[in-house]
Amino acid sequence: MSPAEIRQVIIDILEKIAPDEDLSSLNDEVAFREQMELDSMDFLDIVMELRKLYRIQIPEEDYHHLVTMKSTVDYLTPRLKDA
């Protein structure tokens, strides 16, 4: 998967989790929680959705890589290269 495809996957997941959020102006460099009303359960939903869709395990110690869109895409790119 390309970084652009991964970004779209994350957008799709965020739309499911927070359907009332306007994601059109999402800044890739700013933390999701600063831009959206996400709680810790919403964050875990993102992780679980990635696990369900792509069978990717994200260890808890790596959660800090999933703070912004850019860091999330950077983290997932090598893990989803063959997806």
CB contact at 8 A, 14 and 23: yes
Q: What is the phi/psi pair of residue 24, to 5°?
A: -65, -25
Predicted confidence (pLDDT) per residue in 22-42, tens digit: 899 999 999 999 999 888 899
Domain spans of the chain, in order of start: 3-71
Alpha helices in 1-83 (DSSP H): 3-17, 32-35, 40-54, 69-79
Predicted confidence (pLDDT) per residue in 28-81, tens digit: 999 999 999 888 899 999 999 999 999 999 999 999 999 999 999 999 999 998
Q: Which of 77, 73, 82 is nearest to 7 (CA)?
A: 73
Report whether CATH 1.10.1200.10 matches the domain 3-71.
yes
pLDDT at 3: 97
pLDDT at 1: 94
And the tokens for 22? 């306007």
